[in-house]
Chains A and B, each alone.
Chain A
Amino acid sequence: MWQPPYHDDRLVTINFYPHAMSCSIIERAWTVAPFIVQAYQRFAFKNLELENLMVFNPTAVGRLVHTFLKKHRAQDAFVACSLRGPQLFERYVTVNSQTPQASDFVLPELKTLVWDYRYAYPIDHGKSVCYVAGLPHAVITQYQLFAIQTQLHMTILMPEQMALLQVYRYQRGLTFRRTQLAVDMLQHHNMVDYLCNTDTLGRILHVPNHLVLDRAHEVGPLLAACGLFISEGVDDEKY
């Protein structure tokens, strides 16, 4: 297929945290690592612009995002967002089937949320563990309005843990097995952050020399950005 004039293969990822936000531009690379980070910036909010995933000052947050996009000429790129914070409901639920129904999840918290689940890994006695994530309607609407106001082509709004699970699966490649995931998850008490570390980041993401950042502190956001890029499925789709 022919490409439109403003085709942009880059992906802008925005990671929202309770008191901060990190923006990055990820692109596919075929040299040192599968992905390359073109730009990265972390914004800390001290005046309640973003508090517990609630955007209290969308103008200020939007201005920061818009400035970042304009600086790197990525206004036409697609945007994927990940969330991590107290508003986000996340839980690993044990069910009796690998293909459970929504009615199998009897959790009172889900009644007021928009939620979904994914089969994660099997455990003993034929049971399975599913990852359940939910978000209040108001928060989702808020982020959608924020995307509209800031003119972002937002395609993904997902939990950060889901993005990290995607990274885990990507780094395993063809050797990915859910049983191994189960072992790793049980070993780390379902803390997905511990499945990936700085070495994982070094293997899948190339950070250019001109980009100065503290890798030790930015591992989580950068891995989440890679997970968002994988989730976007840029490589899978042919235009």
Chain B
Amino acid sequence: MKNINFVNALTRKQQYSLRRWWLLSWIVAGSVIIVAGVLHGLQLHQWYVLTAERATLQQEVDDMRSALNTHESLRKMQQALQQKKVKSDRIRQSLASMRARLTDITAACAASQLETCKWHKNAVEIVLGCKDALCATQCVGQLQKVKGLGSIRLVSLSPRENGMVLATMKAQLEKV
């Protein structure tokens, strides 16, 4: 005999099924949330570690970049100094060679009196006070023996007081 029921409620079986599904849904939802949380937590942890590592590496990169800039500027400075050194060495060397030539010239002209010695770029003009023209010619011969002087020639002879002769000579400078 069927019942007369004034309410249209879910049956006991349906309600128990509903309760089971409700419970199961909660368990599944909770599990999903926990798993998602764990996975996201791992990713966040990894992100945090990588960020910290990146910050450290960035600091090192910055240090290295500044060191590289310093190295570059120092290299340029060294290059400039090297150029200056080369230039000064060349000048020093030219001065030394000039002094040596001057010494040789002085030694070669010991019999006469050296008045002036003008140095040009590739030539030198020597003015000597000689006793006579012969002495001047002898000086030319002596000067021809000096290393670094070439094409020496007697340019002029002009008399001076006390019977002296002012001899002007020109010579080409040669590289030693």
Contacts and interface: CB of A to CB of B under 8 A. Distances in A.
A30 interface: no
Contacts of A140: 6-7
Contacts of B176: none
Given A118-B2, A154-B7, A234-B12, 7 more contacts: A131-B4, A135-B6, A158-B6, A162-B3, A165-B1, A166-B3, A231-B5
Contact of B11 (A117, A131, A237): A237
Interface in A191-239: 231-234, 237, 239
Nearest to B6: A157
Interface of B: 1-7, 9-13, 15-16, 19-20, 23
A154 B11 contact: no
A5 interface: yes
A237 B7 contact: no
Contacts of B23: 4-5
A212 B174 CA distance: 146
A188 interface: no
* Number of chain A interface residues as a range: 20 to 34
A144 interface: yes
A116 B2 CA distance: 11
A68 interface: no
Contact of A4 (B9, B10, B16): B16
10 contacts: A6-B19, A117-B4, A118-B2, A144-B7, A155-B15, A157-B7, A231-B3, A232-B12, A237-B11, A237-B13
Given A4-B23, A169-B1, A156 B7 contact: yes
A104 B126 CA distance: 159
Contacts of A237: 11-13
B4 A166 contact: no
A154 B2 contact: no
A117 B1 CA distance: 11
Interface string A162-186: 1001100100000000000000000
A233 B19 contact: no
Contacts of B1: 118, 165-166, 169
Interface centre among B1, B10, B16, B20 (most CB of A within 10 A): B1
Interface string A13-34: 0000000000000000000000
Nearest to B16: A239
Contact of B12 (A78, A133, A135): A78
Contacts of B5: 116, 156-158, 231
Nearest to B4: A116
B26 to A, nearest CB: 12
B20 to A, nearest CB: 5
B13 A153 contact: no
Nearest to A140: B6
Nearest to A114: B6
